[in-house]
Amino acid sequence: MKIERLCNFYASKYHLSMILLEYLKENKKMKVTTFFQDEIEDEIQILINKYKYNIYNIEEIDFKITKNIYDKEINLEKNNIFIVEGDLNYINDANEYILNNLKKMTNAKIINCYNFSHQKLYMKEIINKNDKILFTSGEKIID
């Protein structure tokens, strides 16, 4: 099992939506499961309509609020992307749930998305717990 952890800091829901759409455009073949404390469905739809994103199976991705983390079904295919957005407690709870439910043969990326203005005091700690940072332009390995 290979788990790769990425972090992302966003300024607004539109900023987060743009980063995720660009990332998903490049990772079309992976199964995406989301955990959102604040939904971004409206922002995603506006950006898709405006910029004509052609992303395979985008309609299957749930950009709504995940009211109960523990009720979310985790697909155990070989390659998964988990997108988690919320405050520190929500992200920690979702990560624990994901890791407890993954099988040994599963490869996964967990992208933890933090609102910059709410988490700027903890950025150093957050970055140190991850393998990469996700920007609009893609992934960057943390040195």
Return the CATH number of 2-141, one of 3.40.50, 1.10.1660, 3.10.450, 2.60.40: 3.40.50
pLDDT at 105: 66
Q: How far apart are CA 120 and CA 20, in angstroms?
A: 20
Distance CA 96, CA 92 (A): 6
The structural domains of the chain, with segments of one domain joined by +, span: 2-141
Q: What is the pTM of this model?
A: 0.92
Q: Could you tell me the pLDDT band of residue 13, with boundaries at 50, 70 and 90?
A: very high
- Report the run of H or E that residue 96 belongs to, with start and end: helix 88-101
